[in-house]
Amino acid sequence: MAVTVIIPARLASTRFPEKVLAAKTGKPLVQHVVEGAATTRGIDRVVVATDHPRVADALRPFGTHVVMTRADHPNGTSRLAEASRLLNLGPEDIVVNAQGDEPEMAGEVIEAALRALAHPGASVGTVAAPFAPGLDPRSPHLVKVVRGLDGCALYFSRALIPVHRDAGAGAPAPVQPWRHVGVYAYQAAFLERYAGWPSTPLERSEQLEQLRVLEHGFRVGVELCSAAPEGIDTPEQYAAFVARYRAPVAPAEIERAPSPAPAPAARRSASRPAPSRRAHPQRGTSGRPACATPRPRWRTGTAPAPPSPRSP
């Protein structure tokens, strides 16, 4: 059972044109995502799936594995499914969908998605985090998720959920809102089926692909992290990321514990620079987000295999 992280990287984007190639840090934005994903324990490889040769050309100096996909995909899930076929993944192999515009995504978040996939009955695994200071849970640009007591998603929405009915009376909220983090894990066979389904009413209403899974009666496991980075949607957000990247790291903030050895596919050649360890305002002093439970080793015989996709 191989574990492959695939990063969809479409060249076109609306609010920030060609953002995956923005390179004021000395490397393309999507290359930061690759290097963060490569710190994930137990994965076999990290691959970028793109629709344009300019993205492949920009990543070539870093030795990044790139697959060329069609330009007419309606969404990232469809592109991911084509990439999994091009990579000849087996039906039980695990695919992780990591967003190409989240340069500060660390391996712990991907590991949390893999743990979520192991929830009983889950066909998809994903992640949620608290709202960081300054983020407005009412914003429709920030997706919210509510979980059941079993740790699986009840619903995803751009609206503020759950609603605290008695907030005006001063009663404390019994639950907090959770921000959905757009990383997903699934077996290749389920990804192929999921990508082949037509869009569903709730999906079209909220413009959230993951609702297609719930509307078809499948379960989405949700693991909690104490913090997770946001994506880059605008030039202003990219400028703030560049400033954090360039900021000097104080000696007390440098991670002193030796890092674990990377998975075989994550080893870097001398020409591939190591991932940044710079501090981030949403992370601890190690510069990496802390997740709720210990990390797994995703290898046959050392962790329970995620459930096989069930028939509808």
- Top mean pLDDT of 52-66, 268-282, 290-304 is at 52-66
Q: What is the pLDDT of residue 220?
A: 98
Q: Is residue 157 part of a domain?
A: no
Residue 304 lies in a domain: no
Query: Is residue 18 domain-resident?
Result: yes
The three-state (H, E, C) secondary structure of 78-95, written as one string: HHHHHHHHHCCCCCCCEE
Residue 229 counted as domain residue = yes
Q: For 149-188, what is each residue's pLDDT tens digit?
A: 999 999 999 999 999 888 777 778 888 899 999 999 999 9
* pLDDT: which is higher, 251 or 218: 218
288 located within any domain: no
Angle, helix 76-86 to helix 188-196, in steps of 10 degrees: 130
Q: Is residue 281 assigned to a domain?
A: no
Distance from C-alpha of 37 to C-alpha of 39, rounded to nearest angstrom: 5
List Cβ neighbours of 38 (8 Å cut-off, separation of 6 or more): 46, 107, 262, 263, 265, 266, 268, 275
Least confident interval from 77-86, 127-136, 273-282: 273-282
Backbone angles phi, psi at 66, to 5 degrees: -125, 140
Q: Is residue 298 part of a domain?
A: no
Q: What is the CATH number of the domain that holds 50?
A: 3.90.550.10
Evaluate whether residue 197 is within a structural domain: yes
Mean pLDDT within 198-212: 96
Number of domains in the chain: 1
**Rounded Cα distance, 62 and 4, in Å:** 18
Residue-range definition of the domain harbouring residue 230: 3-129+182-266
Nearest to 103 by CA among 283, 292, 255, 230: 230
